[in-house]
Amino acid sequence: MKQERSPGFKLFLTGFIALMLAVPLAAVYLLSWDRQEQSKTAQESIAAGWGGPQIITGPVLVIPYETESVETVTQNGKDVTRTVKATRELYLSPEVNEVFTDLTPKRLKRSIYESVLFTANNSGTARFALPADFDRYGIKRESLKLASAELRFGISDARGLQSNSQVSVNGKTRELQPGKGLNATQGSGFFTFVDWDAKMPLDVKYSYGIRGNKNITMVPRGVQTKWKVKSAWPSPSFDGDFLPTERDVTKSGFSSSHEISNLALGQALVMTEDLAAPEPYYDGNYMSGSKRAVEPGVSQSAIIALIEPVDLYSQVDRSVKYGFLFIGFTFLAFLMFDLVAGARVAAAEYLLTGTGLVLFFVMLLAFAEVVGFMWAYILAAGSITGLLTAYSAAVLKSWLRARVIGGLLIGLYATLYVLLNLEAYSLIIGSVLLFIALSVVMWATRAIDWSGIGRDTGDRDEATAPDASVRPSASVTSND
């Protein structure tokens, strides 16, 4: 007669099949990554003609000045000393720069992909003056070519500049010229010529609109920089070298305020070299959060990003990582019915059930791109729960047992949804559930002989009667 497998062998076989299902789970994870990359490509295509992540800085007053240096050269075997004149640029930051940004978000969609763009209307005032101790910088006032000064504004992606840009100096509107930005924006931006005698402060009033996507970065310059931002976007992310001193984030939008002094910047008001571009904090999708030490000659920044409140691909990725819990709990329920209740579950039935559990994540990804994560989750979870409950009724030969499997799946899917939305507490909730599950299994299997030898599959309840042809011999005693 064919022997039934031992409980230990059944446990090993169930675990081996669950381990095999790691291959399709990994394939689903790679599929999600591929779809996320396609989404990024589509979003970049949508924003191609709109404007990229924007960096703004300025205004900065750039004043040419003459320098003289003495050098010795050899001519005809003789050392000759001569004076060399050169024209360099002096960078004068404002004493006060107050900027207000009205950030208007906009969604553009192509096929199933969507990108969040923005229009930033910037307006502000700035005041320039030569410091009282200007001579200490080693530059003579008479060497300054004030009539050739330029007021420069840095915009990282000038394609996004709108036609409503205006700059007035001491109440007079100035004509704007393209280019000649600052190093912080890789030379991109606009400028205007300024004729200044440096006897009185230079008051600047400006406004310009730019289009961009993902984030806007302010590079502060000057003794005091104030940057106020308001927007209707409910999910901002603040990063960079300086965080807001005040912020107010609600469902209807946010407002923030930065106040940055030159003491915090570690920058002088007068510089003979422009500052280099800030090191990137933004990795193309989300804030990296990696901070750096402040390096001399490198600009510092304050960043505001418009992030998606729900990133469906990251949620799908996280849900796939819980796939083994689904497979493990479901297989464990089947194994308990097999070992404790006597319902025999074949290896192929384990494999088909596991395939259905993996299919849930494929359906979740496919529908989430179209109808959103929540409705996709409900649709995929309901479909797989119904399918496996009906299949369990056939496998376990009982609708009562199938309802237990269905209830288990509903509980698992509900728990996973809570874990995905309570990221901070997901580890503690998951560990408590695993502890409870282990306790139940240990209690239910406390009487099982895991190393028991397999038994015949025949009628194990039938009692074996003694052979009737064998009769005990009667003992005869004689009484002599």
Task: State yes or no: pLDDT of 115 exceeds 60.
Answer: yes
pLDDT value at residue 46 = 74
Distance CA 331, CA 334 (A): 5
Q: How many CA atoms lie within 13 A of 228 on its CB side?
A: 5
- pLDDT tens digit sequence for 344-379: 777 888 888 888 888 988 998 888 888 888 898 899
pLDDT value at residue 408 = 82
Q: Note whether 301 and 240 are within 8 A (CB).
A: yes
- SS3 readout for 25-79: HHHHHHHHHHHHHHHHHHHHHHCCCCCCCEEEEEEEEEEEEEEEEEEEEEECCEE
Lowest mean pLDDT among 57-61, 270-274, 290-294, 336-340: 290-294
Distance CA 350, CA 334 (A): 8
Average pLDDT over residues 130-135: 84
The percent of residues in the chain predicted with pLDDT above 90, rounded, is 24
- pLDDT tens digit sequence for 328-342: 778 777 877 777 666
More reliable by pLDDT, 317 or 363: 363
- pLDDT tens digit sequence for 433-470: 778 777 877 776 677 666 665 444 444 444 344 444 44
Q: Note whether 130 and 92 are within 8 A (CB).
A: yes
Distance CA 329, CA 321 (A): 14
pLDDT value at residue 418 = 80
Rounded to 10 degrees, the C-alpha dihedral 174/178/183/186 comes to 160
Q: 59: cis peptide before it, omega within 30°? A: yes
Those residues with Cβ within 8 angstroms of residue 250's Cβ, 6 or more apart along the chain or in another chain: 234
> 390-426 in b/e burial notation, b at 16+ Cβ within 10 A?
ebbbebbeeeebbebbbebbeebbebbbebbeeeeeb
In degrees and rounded to multiples of 5, residue 250 shows phi and psi of -130, 180
Average pLDDT over residues 409-431: 77
Lowest mean pLDDT among 53-57, 184-188, 221-225, 342-346: 342-346
Q: Both tokens of residue 382?
A: 């309901």
More reliable by pLDDT, 345 or 296: 345
Q: Both tokens of residue 163?
A: 């036609």
pTM summary value: 0.70
Distance CA 318, CA 293 (A): 33
Those residues with Cβ within 8 angstroms of residue 300's Cβ, 6 or more apart along the chain or in another chain: 219, 220, 240, 241, 242, 265, 278, 294
pLDDT value at residue 473 = 43
pLDDT value at residue 18 = 80
More reliable by pLDDT, 205 or 427: 205
Average pLDDT over residues 3-22: 75
**Left (φ > 0), alpha (ψ -120 to 50) or beta: where does 107 sit?**
beta
Average pLDDT over residues 8-32: 82
Task: State yes or no: pLDDT of 141 exceeds 70.
Answer: yes
Q: Both tokens of residue 45?
A: 């295509």
Lowest mean pLDDT among 123-127, 144-148, 374-378, 433-437: 433-437
Distance CA 443, CA 427 (A): 24
Summary mean pLDDT of the chain: 80
pLDDT value at residue 464 = 40
Q: Both tokens of residue 402?
A: 């199938």
Q: Note whether 188 and 194 are within 8 A (CB).
A: no
> 271-296 in b/e burial notation, b at 16+ Cβ within 10 A?
beebbebbeebbeebebeeeeeeeee
- pLDDT tens digit sequence for 94-108: 999 999 999 999 887
